[in-house]
Each structure stands twice: as structure tokens, then as C-alpha cells.
């Protein structure tokens, strides 16, 4: 006579735990990295500009996801768009990444990130592609976006010494590194926008990011008060290192300032 062996309570709980963990890992690697969300940030009661932030593209040839990012930005119909660094990790992907920048139907202003420098791709094509959108690649430069109500100041690395007062318009600092907000030598801005952190990519409830890159400090994601003014850290649309996200979906931010 054949008998059935029933699982003990410990075996059942162990099997369930492995199943849940496996499902969580699969989600973190297969689905969550492309679960794009749109966040909203209002920094003024009577805003003079409405624009989009995106960061940390880290384009590696995933054309379907890149098309989704571009389509989402275009659908939001901003006055202009700000990119906060790390377009690519490898110069082989520069042409492809810039092709998607050109597909954005609004002026795009961008600053370099550490991977844009590290991959040693020439900046000439960046300048051309961003200019083709009506925007600019801002390497220690300023620009007046459409409407002329604010001034964009784009920093290379964490250097902001190039910035000089230009009238009474609100000045907005675009930088890759969140910690730049602590290193502006007394200069204040209407807002500071940064990327780089990825929000840690993997976040544990009640703990936060498992790991963060250098030059982030405690400015891991979201809105902070800093010596330079209000800082918003965008968690980016791509991944680096481990191609996974958990409790930290990729983000495009709509700002009203």
C-alpha cells in the first residue's frame, strides 16, 4: 500500500519562503527595472515653468525600453527637459543613445555624469544632439530655456565656480551628484536637481538603500533641504552594476517651479 508523505510545518514554511524569495528576485531582475513611473514635484504656488527631469539612462541597446522612456517624456508635454547625467557606460552605445535624445520633442538640456566621462566618449556628439533638440549640453555653462523665466546652470562634476549672477531670474542648478548641494560656496538656487544615486536600486523597508555610490551622502532620493536650496534627487531610468530594482522603480519627474 502506497503512503503519502506530508510536509512538516517547518518544511512547508521553508518551501514557501524560498518561493517568495525566488519570486521577489525574479521581479527585481525581470520586471521592476522597466516599471517606469512618473512622479510630480511642485515647488511654487504660481509656477513659471513646467519641465521634466530624467537621469541615469545607462543605455546598453535596450531599444524597446528607450522608446518607452522617450514616449513617456513626449506624452507629458513639458516646456523643456533636463537630463542629469550618465547617458552611457560604453562609447559603443553613444550614437544609439543620442538617437533617442533627438526623438524627444522638446528642448533637452543635459549635464555629464561620471560614466559619461569614464567611457571616454567624445562630447562633440553630445553637444550636437542636445542642440538639435533646441536645448544644450551644459558643461559648466548656463542657458535660458523656453519662456526665459528661469536660468539653468549645468555643472560638470561638482564644480560650480563658473556660475555668476545673471539678473533676477530664478537660477536652477543641474548636477549629477547630490552632494554638490553641500559644495556651492554659499551660492543658493531656486532648486537643485541631481541623479547618480539610483535611489540605491534595491531598498529594504524600514532600512532604505542597501548600497549607494559616492558623492550621495544622505541625499538618496526625493526632496531635501540643503545649503544650496531645495534639492530633488531623481532615481533615474536605468540601472548600473546589478541590473535590478526593488522598492525603487525607475522615475521620470515632472517639476513645476
pLDDT in tens, 7-43: 565 543 344 333 333 434 445 444 467 899 999 999 9
Q: Across the beta sheet with 136-137, what order do the strands follow?
A: 37-42, 251-256, 50-54, 80-83, 108-110, 136-137
CB 59 within 8 A of CB 98: no
Report pLDDT for 27: 52
**Mean pLDDT in the chain?**
89
pLDDT at residue 218 is higher than 90: yes
Give the DSSP per-residue string, 214-228.
Answer: TT-TT--SEEEEETT
pLDDT at residue 106 is higher than 60: yes
Report pLDDT for 159: 76
Contacts of 10 (CB under 8 A, 6+ apart): none
What phi and psi, each to the nearest 5 degrees, are found at residue 91? -60, -20
Distance CA 61, CA 210 (A): 27
Helices and strands counted in the chain (H then E): 5, 14
Burial (CB count <10 Å: 0-12, 13-18, 19+), residue 149: middle
Q: Which CATH superfamily is domain 10-256 in?
A: Metallo-dependent phosphatases (3.60.21.10)
CB 240 within 8 A of CB 89: yes
Task: Give the tens place of pLDDT for each residue, 44-74.
Answer: 999 999 999 999 999 999 999 999 999 999 9
Report pLDDT for 31: 47
pLDDT at residue 239 is higher than 90: yes
Task: Give the tens place of pLDDT for each residue, 162-215.
Answer: 887 666 899 999 999 999 999 998 899 999 999 999 999 999 999 999 999 999
Q: What is the pTM of this model?
A: 0.88
Report pLDDT for 5: 52
Distance CA 193, CA 231 (A): 6
For the chain, the structural domain boundaries read 10-256
Distance CA 188, CA 229 (A): 6
List, in sequence order, the alpha helices (H) in the chain: 9-30, 63-76, 94-103, 114-118, 124-132
Amino acid at each position: 500500500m502506497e503512503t503519502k508523505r506530508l510536509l512538516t510545518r517547518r518544511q512547508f514554511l521553508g518551501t514557501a519562503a524560498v518561493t517568495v524569495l525566488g519570486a521577489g528576485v525574479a521581479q527585481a531582475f525581470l520586471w521592476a527595472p522597466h516599471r517606469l513611473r512618473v512622479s510630480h514635484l511642485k515647488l511654487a504656488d504660481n509656477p513659471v515653468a513646467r519641465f521634466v527631469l530624467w537621469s541615469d539612462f545607462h543605455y546598453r541597446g535596450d531599444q524597446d525600453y528607450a522608446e518607452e522612456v522617450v514616449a513617456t517624456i513626449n506624452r507629458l508635454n513639458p516646456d523643456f527637459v533636463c537630463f542629469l547625467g550618465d547617458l552611457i557606460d560604453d562609447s559603443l552605445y553613444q550614437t544609439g543613445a543620442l538617437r533617442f535624445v533627438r526623438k524627444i520633442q522638446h528642448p533637452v538640456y543635459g549635464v555629464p555624469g561620471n560614466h559619461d566621462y569614464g567611457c571616454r566618449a567624445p562630447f562633440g556628439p553630445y553637444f550636437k544632439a542636445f542642440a538639435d533638440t533646441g536645448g544644450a549640453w551644459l558643461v559648466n555653462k548656463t542657458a535660458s530655456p523656453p519662456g526665459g523665466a528661469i536660468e539653468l546652470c549645468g555643472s560638470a562634476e561638482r564644480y560650480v565656480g563658473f556660475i555668476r549672477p545673471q539678473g533676477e531670474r530664478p537660477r536652477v542648478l543641474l548636477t549629477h551628484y547630490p552632494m554638490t548641494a553641500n559644495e556651492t560656496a554659499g551660492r543658493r538656487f531656486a532648486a537643485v536637481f541631481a541623479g547618480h544615486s539610483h535611489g540605491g536600486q534595491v531598498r529594504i523597508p524600514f532600512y532604505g538603500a542597501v548600497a549607494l555610490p559616492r558623492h550621495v551622502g544622505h541625499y538618496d532620493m526625493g526632496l531635501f533641504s540643503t545649503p544650496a536650496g531645495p534639492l530633488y534627487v531623481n532615481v533615474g531610468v536605468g540601472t548600473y552594476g546589478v541590473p535590478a530594482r526593488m522598492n525603487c522603480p525607475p522615475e521620470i519627474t515632472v517639476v513645476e517651479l
